[in-house]
Amino acid sequence: MACTCYKRCRHSLTVKLHPDGKHGKRFDIPHWLSARGFALKESHGTTGYCGTYVRRKQVVVVTSIPGRGDVVAKTHEGTITAECKGGIINTRHAGQASRLRKGLCEAVGLLMASPKAGRQVAVVPKTETKVRLAQRLAPRAKEAGMEIALVDELGQVSILRREARWTDSHGLSTNEASSS
């Protein structure tokens, strides 16, 4: 999601990642950032992944501070806050499908519980279940000033827009039927 903020918002000043401890331990954040050309400029705290990473004029700050949104981008146009839930789950098992639905509802709920500061985006893995749920939640989320984004297995981000249309990570609109 952090890289998508830089791709979509050409004037991103800083992107802040706030992973919880579980995600910081399970996902190798420094390696992932390094593979995308970011270098650790300054460490923060005692965890191995918190710090300031720089790639040319782009800055990613990783801190393990709860309640701030998983990804927060500061741009010239304002702030974008993304609450990210879920992981890649390739199953139709009822319990896992229920977990997929809960993740989107939880992301929307966490955004609603936080103070409104710019654009708010609930981000979850793109599955058939999530697409259907996102289409049902989108009108209410929009009324609350939120957007829903789905990330596919290749890391492409689709954002649900008005009239149940999706915008892919290149800014191209597609009909909802072709995005499933």
Rounded to whole angstroms, the Cα distance separating 68 from 121 reads 13
Rounded to whole angstroms, the Cα distance separating 18 from 1 reads 12
CA distances 6 to 41, 55, 59, 149, Å, are 19, 11, 10, 16
Mean pLDDT value across residues 34-43: 93
Task: Rank 9-18, 20-29, 164-173 by mean pLDDT and report only the highest.
Answer: 20-29
Encoding tokens for residue 117? 């500061």
How confident is the model over 88-106, as pLDDT tens digits?
555 566 665 566 667 777 7
Rounded to whole angstroms, the Cα distance separating 124 from 84 reads 6
CA distances 66 to 2, 49, 148, Å, are 17, 15, 21
Which segments of the chain are extended strands (E)? 14-17, 39-43, 51-55, 58-62, 71-75, 78-84, 119-125, 146-151, 157-161, 165-167, 173-175
Q: Cα 175 from chain centroid?
A: 22
How confident is the model over 51-77, as pLDDT tens digits?
999 988 888 999 987 777 888 888 878
Instruction: Output the pTM of the full model.
Output: 0.73
